[in-house]
Amino acid sequence: MLVSVGSLSLMGLALGSMLGAASRYLAVEENPLEAEIQAMLPGSQCGQCGYVGCAQAAAALAKGEAQVTLCPPGGKATAEALAAKLGIKVDLSGVVDSGPQIADVTEEICIGCSRCLKVCPTDAIIGAAKQVHNVIREACTGCSSCVNVCPTEALSLMPIPVTLQHWVWPQPASSAA
């Protein structure tokens, strides 16, 4: 009994320290800039940028292989932030930005095929086969993946509705200060 307990804990200790050492010496070099850029991307892994997900998009951006305007869900705000981070000057006036958007199901024409549910990267759609589906507004990133698969065009993007909690004062009209 004692022997087995002792030998097991010894093994645990030895293996544990080996793991610790390995993680230190064999660590994958992580580019800090890459991590920072990844934190700025929406993280919905929707793939609209042409990369597999946000991490790959961030890697490409860090290497300077991609445009700061690559991410449609991020919109102008993300492009601006990325440009500032990477120290690039870009002309964003050409970027059409409809502002932050979310998906919305037109209930009358949803046939409950459940296709949208399967493609949503953030599990923002609730529903079941042959039931009207719906979008959880808080979880939707507006990536439009669902819009593209809906056979009846029941899904569309709309601007995030302004509520009392989200409303902010406009900038004063006069520019004197």
Partner 1 sequence: MGFLDRFFKEPSWGVHPDDHKRPAADAPLRILPTPERVYMPLSQHVGGAARPIVVVGQKVLKGQLLADAQGNISAPIHAPVSGTVFSIGEVTAPHASGLPFRAITIESDGQDRWIDTELVADPFALAPEDIARKAAAAGVVGLGGATFPSAVKFALGKRLKVETLIVNGGECEPYLSSDDRIMRDFADQVVDGVRLVMHAIGAKEALVGIEDNKPEAIAAMRKAAASFSEVKICPVPTRYPMGSDKQLIQTLTGKEVPSNARAAEVGVLVHNVSTCAAVHKAVRLGQPLVERIVTLNGGAIATPGNIYAPLGTLVTDLLAFVGLKGEPARLILGGPMMGTPLAHDRIPLVKGASGILAFNAAEAATPEAGPCIRCGTCADACPMGLLPMEMAAHIRVEDFEGAEGYALGDCISCGCCAYVCPSHIPLVQYFSYAKGELMAAERVKLRTDATKRLAEARSARIEREKQEKAEAAARRKAEKDAAAAAKAAAAKAPAKDSGQAQGETV
Candidates 9-17, 104-112, 134-142, 144-152; binding stretch for partner 1 (CB under 8 A): 134-142
Q: What is the dihedral of CA 109, 111, 115, 120, to 10 degrees?
A: 50
| Cβ distance to partner 1 smaller for residue 2 or 162 | 162
Q: Residues near 23 by Cβ (< 8 Å), separated by ≥ 6?
A: none
Applying CB under 8 A, does 93 fall inside the site for partner 1?
Answer: no
Applying CB under 8 A, does 163 fall inside the site for partner 1?
Answer: yes
Ramachandran category for residue 114: left, alpha or beta (phi over 0 → left; psi -120 to 50 → alpha) = left
Candidates 110, 141, 150, 154; binder of ligand SF4 (CB under 6 A) is 141
Candidates 67, 122, 134, 156; binder of partner 1 (CB under 8 A) is 122
Binding mask 26-65 for partner 1 (x = CB under 8 A): ----------------xxxx--------------------
Candidates 15-23, 61-69, 90-98, 137-145; binding stretch for partner 1 (CB under 8 A): 137-145
The C-alpha angle with vertex 77 and arms to 96 and 167, in degrees rounded to 5, equals 100
Q: Residues near 71 by Cβ (< 8 Å), separated by ≥ 6?
A: 41, 42, 48, 49, 57, 78, 79
Ramachandran category for residue 51: left, alpha or beta (phi over 0 → left; psi -120 to 50 → alpha) = beta
Site residues (CB under 6 A) for ligand SF4? Answer: 41-42, 44-49, 51, 53-54, 57, 71-74, 103, 119-122, 124-125, 135, 140-146
Which parts of this chain interact with partner 1 (CB under 8 A)? 42-45, 77, 100, 121-124, 138-141, 162-164, 166-172, 174-177
